[in-house]
Each structure stands twice: as C-alpha cells, then as structure tokens.
Amino acid sequence: MSAEYVDYSTGEPIADTKAPAGPVNERWDTRRFEAKLVNPANRRKHTVIVVGTGLAGGSAGATLAEQGYHVVQFCYQDSPRRAHSIAAQGGINAAKNYRNDGDSVYRLFYDTVKGGDFRARESNVHRLAQISVEIIDQCVAQGVPFAREYGGLLDTRSFGGVQVSRTFYARGQTGQQLLLGAYQALSRQIAAGNVEMHPRTEMLDLIVVDGKARGIVARDLISGKISTYFADAVVLASGGYGNVFYLSTNAMNSNATAIWRAHRRGAYFANPCFTQIHPTCIPRTGDHQSKLTLMSESLRNDGRIWVPKAKGDDRPANKIPEDERDYYLERIYPSYGNLVPRDIASRAAKNVCDEGRGVGPGGQGVYLDFADAIQRMGRKAVEAKYGNLFDMYQRITDEDPYQVPMRIYPAVHYTMGGLWVDYDLQTTIPGLFAIGEANFSDHGANRLGASALMQGLADGYFVLPATINDYLARNPHKDEVDASHPAAVETVRETEDRLARLLAVDGDRTPDSFHREVGELMWEFCGMARTDTGLRKALERIPQIREEFWRRIKVPGTGEEFNQSLEKANRIVDYLELAELMCLDALHRAESCGGHFREESQTPDGEAARRDEEFGYAAAWEFTGTGQAPTLHKEDLVFEYVHPTQRSYA
C-alpha cells in the first residue's frame, strides 16, 4: 500500500445550500418557487446533454425536451430501450396508501431514512416520498401495465424493511415496463426533433470550461471516432458502479467511466464504499461465471429462508425434517421475519454460511423455500405471482423450485454512493448534474427494495427538470464553446492518448482477467464484511494490479473500429482507480452502517453498530491525482425529524 494514498487530508466541510429552511414538507415547494425559470420561448436556445437512458436519463431527456430544451442524449447500448433499469424486477414504492394500511408520505420518508441507517439527507428523502405518488400517476398515464385487481384498480405488495403494502409492480418486470414508458416518451421527443439521440456512443470524458461543465468527449462505438459535444449543462444518468466487483447483478457493460471521469475533473465522489449486497441471487456455478442473476426480493413475501441446524448437513432439502431446520431470519427478527432489509438479510446469510451451515456447492447458499406457500395458496396462485421468476431460476440452475427449494446467495447489486449532489442534484462542478444511481443522494447506507425505480424516476421526471431551470436561467452561456477551445482540445488529446496507450501495450493478459482479479479482491476485502487489516491489504494490492495492467494488458485491433475489447479495457482503467477510493472510504469509516459492515464495530449480538458522533456525515472525496491521497470533505447530516436510533427489526 502506498502510504501516501491512505494518508488523506480533511478539507473544508461541504454543505447543501439549496434546500430551503423551514418545515421539511414545505421545502420542495419553496425551492421550486425560489428557483429561477427560463422563459418557454428561450428554452430551445439551451442545449442539455444527458448521458444514459435508464429510468433517470430516459425520463429526464423526455421531460426536458417536453419543456422545450434541446436535448442531446447518449447511450452505449444499440437502443435507449436496453438500459439496465430494464432488469429491475420487483416494483416501485409510492405512498398512495391505496391499501388504507397506515401509509403516508411521512411514513415512506421515515422508513427510507431509517432503512438507510441515518446516512441520507432528510430534505432529499422527504422530497422523494412526496414525489412518489406523482410517479405512479405519470406512469399509468403513459400506459405502464401495472398489476391490477379484479375491480380494475392497482395492486400492491410488500417489500423488505417496511410494514405496509406500498409497492406497485408489473409481474416480475416492473423495471422493464417503467423503462419502456420512459423510452416511449423519449421516442416521441426524438421523433419531434427535440432530442438528438446517439446510441452506441460512450462518454469518455467531461469538458470543463472556466470551472463549468460544458460538454463531453464521446466515442462512436461503431466507427471508433472520438467526438466532442457541447451544451449549457451536462446531466449524468449513467448508473452505478457495482461492476467494479466483476461479478454483480449489473449488466455486463454497465460501467463507472462517466462518473469517474467527472470525478477526476472535479466532481466530489460521496460514500463510495456504500454498496448494496442483495440477499436473493442465484449462487455462482464456477469460474466461467460472467455475471450474477438476482431473484426479486418480492419472493421473500412468501418464501421462507432456512439452512440446516447442523453444520455440514448435506442431505437433500426435502430429507431434512422440519425440526432440524433453522429459519434463521424468522428466529432472529420475529417482527419482520423474512422481510428484514437487504443488508441485514445478506449478512445473516453470510453468517450462517461462515458457520458451515450453507447449502449447495461450496456451502455458499441458503434455501428459499416455497413449500409452505404452495400448500397455503396453491401452486396456481404461486405461479401467477412468481411464475416468471421460477422459470428463470429453473433455466439457470436446471432445478425445479416448485419441487425443491431455491438456493440463493447475496451478490453485489446496487451502489448507494455516487457523485455528491446538492438538493438541486448538481455536483460540485457547476452545470454538471447527476441523477439516479449515479448520485449518492437518497438511500444513505442502505437502499430499501423498490426504491431505486422510485428515485430514478423522481429525479428524471420531476426533480431535475425543476432545478436545472435555475442553473440555466442564471448562466446564459452566450460564449460559444466548440471543439477548438483549448479545454476541449486537451480533453480529446488525453482521451486519445489513453486509448492509444491501451492498444500499444500488447501484453499477455486479457481485459477480463484484470477485471476478474480486481473484482475478487474487492469482494473479499470490501464486500459484505470489512476489516481494517483486509482493507489495507486491498489498498496495497490495487496499485500493484494497476501497474501490472499497464504492463501486461492485451487489447487486439485498433481504435478506429468496433472494438469491444478496447471498450472493456478502458472501463477497467477507471475501476482500478475507483476500487482504491472505495477501499479508502471503507477504511476511514470505522463504523458499521447499512451495507457497510466493519467487523470492528458491531453490537454484542452481531448487528451493525453505528458511531454517529464520529461518522454522522456523508464523506465527499476530492480527486487529487491517480494513486494520490484524495481530500475528504464532510457533509454533516442533521436529523431534525427522524432521530437516529440503532435500527431494530427484531
């Protein structure tokens, strides 16, 4: 480990200056009123770049274009419809209280702050809860085919960490249906000429002029051509960075390059170590494994999680009698049972496997059993509710979950950390906004199920389109910036140099081999449980891998063609820096909170022990150079409404 890197300094504190004072339930209205507006006739004179077309980017692009802005949008996929939001299965939360079960905006706010283990900003979370109800209206109007009751009204179900039924869903394909809604709205604007869409085009750097974000450098993935694009503001909706772990439930090409390059250009990166490990994924089968597949958390509504009571019990599941099974979540957390939040369910699974009671190959699995549900509801009802998930499980594992319990194990799924943003979702670079999973704002140290879709759409449909006006109204960019501007020329040169360097090494290791190596290291030392010693080991190893990467990487072909190896290798360059920051953040946060579990900081019964006095802040890191110690800026978190308590789901 380079001593220099760990030896970070603490800079000036950082604070959100955009959320107005006053009662939390009035802040959003106040902010919208105070924000300056752009006259409808002037909006078409403003160009906004949006990177990414998932729930956040797709909804933002469509909405900004509807307002009259000129939108230039990018995605690396061949179509904006393929962004990884499409794979979200379970549902989307909204405080509609259609069930009359005691839900309210305030309860959703409360649940989210508590679920995030008191590491999120109250004003942001309250706004999210308020907007949740409008999202459902919006999506229904677009024709999103949510599940309905026989009376024609919308159906809901429960998710982990809450005791009301507020999750709207479209079978196991809620993300797909919501994304197609946003994609269709975006398509309408593309046809109208208000959105200039660039598919198969990947952002490789941010162009900053006079301290403001003014454009991007992007590569056409078909021709390999590097181009510059300019705008009055840039919106990053490029998703999370879970793929730093190599194996995750993210899409294969989901990557951190857009946010990491923005970070290098001056955007602070907040809470990078806050990673969500999802408890119900299909266990890996071997070294060939390229990604992991999640089974929706909604399965925990009816499935029961258990392992054998005895260590090393290798009898088949149905040969283990009832009294020799340990339904450990129901035992340890009787009031929430199988529906405890994700971080708690994942850690409990790890614990029983570490005790030697795991099932399946390598003992890396626990059972998720539907036998009781099938008996209670009948096979037909189980099929109607979860049929597509059962089919998917069977296809991947070749086991029939109607006959034998599913085997599941936790896997990296979501990253709560991301670019630091204020209440307006603006990063520390003026004119650069980050929305959806790309920012750090709303989920604290742990995200509740069905809240990612809610946040992505809240940011894209409602928050950003209201707050970006204020920036654009205050910053009329009369000065035209084009490709000849020195900042643009320099940024393009750096990008071209980086790609040329990757192609020139001509070593003896493939991009995947490096990605796998850093991923395994991160999973071991910066995964479900972290220690001071382990993190220091990882911090020692990462610069070595980086050095080896630049010595031994082999990227075939050229930069002037469709070259998937080059795309991969270039993303790994950024993972190899981001991984280091994640480990440093995890090392510095010597407390446990939400998805970040430091073994040194736990309660006597093994639960995460927060240390609010010392760590009641969001950690925003400033980049100072590759391998150089970053500067920490702390945003103090103030809880006026939901007072921090040790979370209890017992």
Partner 1 sequence: MKLTLRVWRQKNADAEGTMSTYEVDNISSDMSFLEMLDTLNEELILKGEDPVAFDHDCREGICGACSLVINGDAHGPERTTTCQLHMRSFKDGDTIDIEPWRASAFPVIKDLVVDRSAFDRIIQSGGYITAPTGAAPEAHATPVPKPDADFAFEHAECIGCGACVAACPNGAAMLFTSAKINHLNTLPQGAPERETRVLDMVAQMDEEGFGGCTLTGECATACPKGIPLMSITSMNKEWLRATRKVAKR
Which residues inside 249-278 make contact with partner 1, applying CB under 8 A? Answer: 249, 251-254
Closest distance to partner 1 from the beta carbon of 370 (Å)? 21
Phi, psi of 64 (to 5 degrees): -60, -40
32 binds partner 1 (CB under 8 A): no
CA 522/CA 538 separation, integer angstroms = 7
Contacts of partner 1 in 54-73 (CB under 8 A):
59, 62-63, 66
Binding span for partner 1 by CB under 8 A among 3-11, 280-288, 367-375, 575-583: 280-288
Closest distance to partner 1 from the beta carbon of 460 (Å)? 9
Closest distance to partner 1 from the beta carbon of 430 (Å)? 25
Cα pseudo-dihedral 130, 133, 135, 137, rounded to 10: -150
Residue among 193 and 321 whose Cβ is closer to partner 1: 193
Binding span for partner 1 by CB under 8 A among 25-33, 84-92, 108-116, 532-540: 84-92
User: Which strand (E) or helix (H) includes residue 533?
Assistant: helix 532-552
Rule CB under 8 A: choose which of 27, 46, 84, 219 binds partner 1: 84
The binding track of 375-404 with respect to partner 1, each residue x by CB under 8 A or -, is -----------------x--xx-x------
CA 33/CA 510 separation, integer angstroms = 54
Residue among 167 and 446 whose Cβ is closer to partner 1: 167
Q: Is 502 helix (H, G, I), strand (E, B) or coil?
A: helix
The binding track of 210-249 with respect to partner 1, each residue x by CB under 8 A or -, is ------------x--------------------------x
Task: Say how far residue 478 (Cα) sits from the centre of its chain.
Answer: 36
Closest distance to partner 1 from the beta carbon of 558 (Å)? 10
Residue type present at position 172:
G
Residue among 161 and 465 whose Cβ is closer to partner 1: 465
Q: Is 543 helix (H, G, I), strand (E, B) or coil?
A: helix
Count of beta carbons in the 10 Å neighbourhood of residue 349: 25
CA 64/CA 44 separation, integer angstroms = 10
Pair type for strands 617-622 and 631-636: antiparallel
Contacts of partner 1 in 175-194 (CB under 8 A):
176-177, 180, 183-185, 187-188, 190-191
Q: Where are the beta strands (DSSP E) in 30-119?
A: 47-51, 70-74, 92-93
Active site residue 342: yes
CA 398/CA 395 separation, integer angstroms = 6
The binding track of 2-31 with respect to partner 1, each residue x by CB under 8 A or -, is ------------------------------
Residue among 96 and 107 whose Cβ is closer to partner 1: 96
Residue among 78 and 324 whose Cβ is closer to partner 1: 78
Pair type for strands 167-168 and 156-157: antiparallel
The binding track of 138-177 with respect to partner 1, each residue x by CB under 8 A or -, is xxxxxx-xxxxxxxxxx---------------xx-x--xx
Residue among 149 and 524 whose Cβ is closer to partner 1: 149
Rule CB under 8 A: choose which of 29, 34, 78, 524 binds partner 1: 78
CA 289/CA 286 separation, integer angstroms = 6
Residue among 269 and 393 whose Cβ is closer to partner 1: 393
Contacts of partner 1 in 411-430 (CB under 8 A):
none
Binding span for partner 1 by CB under 8 A among 287-295, 328-336, 469-477, 591-599: 287-295
Residue among 44 and 291 whose Cβ is closer to partner 1: 291
CA 585/CA 522 separation, integer angstroms = 13
Rule CB under 8 A: choose which of 42, 510, 624, 631 binds partner 1: 510
Q: Is 212 helix (H, G, I), strand (E, B) or coil?
A: strand
Q: Which is the catalytic residue, given 43, 304, 342, 407?
A: 342
Closest distance to partner 1 from the beta carbon of 245 (Å)? 15
- Give 309-341 as a DSSP string: SSTT--S-GGGS-GGGEE-HHHHH-TTTGGGS-
CA 98/CA 118 separation, integer angstroms = 28
Rule CB under 8 A: choose which of 163, 290, 533, 544 binds partner 1: 290
Question: Does residue 311 contact residue 355 with C-beta atoms inside 8 Å?
Answer: yes
CA 44/CA 519 separation, integer angstroms = 44
The residue behind tokens 């998930």 is 389
User: Of 614, 525, 452, 411, nearest to 112 (Cα)?
Assistant: 452
User: Which strand (E) or helix (H) includes residue 348?
Assistant: helix 342-354
Pair type for strands 47-51 and 233-236: parallel
Question: Does residue 402 contact residue 341 with C-beta atoms inside 8 Å?
Answer: no
Contacts of partner 1 in 565-594 (CB under 8 A):
565
Residue among 80 and 303 whose Cβ is closer to partner 1: 80
Q: Where are the beta strands (DSSP E) in 319-363?
A: 325-326
User: Which strand (E) or helix (H) includes residue 521?
Assistant: helix 511-525
Rule CB under 8 A: choose which of 104, 110, 134, 644 binds partner 1: 134
Q: Which residues are annotated as catalytic? A: 342
